Amino acid sequence: MADDFKYHIDHHAGLLTPPALAEARAAHAAGTLGDAEFEVAEDQAIREVLRAQRRLGLSSLGDGQLRRRNSLAPVYDHVDGFAAQPSAPGPIAGLVGPALAPEIRALTGTPKPNGRLVENEAAFLAGAIDRSLLLALPSPGYVLALSRDAAAPPDGASEAGADAKTNAAEASTEAAAALAAVIREEIVAVAQQGIAYVLLQNPLAGVLLTTDGRERAQAAGVDPDELLDAMLTADAAVLEGLEARTPEDFRVGLDLTTAGAAPGAQDAAGAGYDASAVTAFLNRQPYIRLCVEYPKDEAARFPLELLKPGTVVSLGVVDVSNEEVEDVDDVVARIDVAAEVVDIDDIAISTNGTFAAAPAAVTEVVQHAKLQVVEMTARYFWGNEL
């Protein structure tokens, strides 16, 4: 029997902004719509996307991230230790592109919360609908990796030699532990509010596990292994002690999908994954649920054979980066191939990223049709067990 808490009908929390909310947001920014009226518009839009997800039969429902100005805002808006103003993107942000790195802020001190990150999102969701609820947060490793683009070496660092490098490494380690703790505490808090499933999103890790992504990183002067190691240290720390502080049916996943990335990054998996890099990553990463790419192109699929037994893998089989709606039979055939490697009950069906990063050609109608493909494919395998 299918395990309800493996969320076999999956998605990535972010949805397209409905036109009415986009208009309200523009009016609010222009000062012609008050705060209270804008909040009403947000609430109404979220209720509508929740109803749409419920009608589709998705395993977990989210608010579409419709209250956020971008995917990184929960950290930048509610965690001290980052610059007040964004910086221009550098080589690390360039590996994923502006849709997935919409804002970059320098690390200016040890990260400390200045309030809850997504308290209002979780509270509204819990009060709006009686279903399993989903939220996504940027992974601490990803946020800190992007902050490197904005960091300038201190005066004299180039002459300071080993001492400066040691101090920088210690500061980086401290920041990783601190931001991981902030994210961990927020996860505990949303679990107490009734959220059942949290995704930590790190598309940069997904890119750096591909052959092409690693080559582009090296060409930009970025050491892919060092960066992966640093991100993994921070992301793994989130789970320390978390299981004992959350309900038994609570789930956390690490999202490595890259849909919405810049063209070079989005196509990175086309040249395949670097088996050594993937093996090293999987040997260290502690998450029991991973979201990965599993497109029509066989060469671009995540190497499932390298997964640890028992890992629940959410397969990105529906592409949010183009408007063509997938054929259900084709997707079912793809899952059949995956099930030869991974137990079918350890598989979830999903899109390959958030619709919030989709191109303009992907409309709400297309979004609904693609989510329907996800649902229909899952029903084919698990039927009324879901």
Q: Is the pLDDT reported for residue 151 higher than 90?
A: no
pTM: 0.93
Q: Considering all CA atoms of the chain, what is the largest pairwise distance in Å, rounded to the nearest integer?
A: 67
According to the model, what pLDDT value does residue 170 have? 65
Q: Please, what is the end-to-end C-alpha distance for the chain in angstroms?
A: 9
Q: Taking a C-beta distance cutoff of 8 angstroms, is the pair 200, 183 a contact? A: yes
Quick count: other Cβ atoms within 10 Å of Cβ 85? 8
When comparing pLDDT for 160 and 247, which is higher? 247
Which CATH number covers residue 63? 3.20.20.210
Reading phi first (left if > 0) and then psi (alpha if -120 to 50, else beta), residue 260 is in: left
Q: Tell me the one-letter amino acid at 275.
A: A
The Cα–Cα gap between 50 and 133 comes to: 10
Q: Is the pLDDT reported for residue 112 higher than 90?
A: yes
Q: How confident is the model at residue 245 (pLDDT cuts 50, 70, 90)?
A: very high
Determine the average pLDDT of the residues in 63-68. Answer: 97
The pLDDT > 90 percentage for the chain reads 84
Q: Taking a C-beta distance cutoff of 8 angstroms, is the pair 108, 81 a contact? A: yes
Determine the average pLDDT of the residues in 41-66. Answer: 95
Task: Write down the H helix ranges in 84-139.
Answer: 91-94, 119-128
Which residues constitute the domain of residue 186?
4-385
For residue 47, how far is the Cα from the chain centroid? 22
∠ at Cα 122 (190, 293), nearest 5°? 80
Q: Taking a C-beta distance cutoff of 8 angstroms, is the pair 43, 124 a contact? A: yes
According to the model, what pLDDT value does residue 352 have? 95
The Cα–Cα gap between 268 and 215 comes to: 10
pLDDT digits (tens, 9 = 90+) for 333-386: 999 999 999 999 999 999 999 998 888 889 999 999 999 999 999 999 998 665
Of 48-52, 169-173, 209-213, the least confident: 169-173
According to the model, what pLDDT value does residue 83 have? 97
pLDDT digits (tens, 9 = 90+) for 1-52: 344 467 888 888 999 999 999 999 999 999 999 999 999 999 999 999 999 9
pLDDT digits (tens, 9 = 90+) for 312-330: 999 999 999 999 999 999 9
Range 89-119 burial, b when 16+ CB lie within 10 A, else e: bbebbbbbbbbbbbbbbbbeeebebeebbbe
Q: Is the pLDDT reported for residue 156 higher than 90?
A: no
Instruction: Work out how many domains the chain is built from and give that number.
Output: 1
DSSP for 248-261?
A: TT-EEEEE---TTS
Determine the average pLDDT of the residues in 171-199. Answer: 96
Residue 348 sits at φ, ψ, to 5 deg, of -120, 150
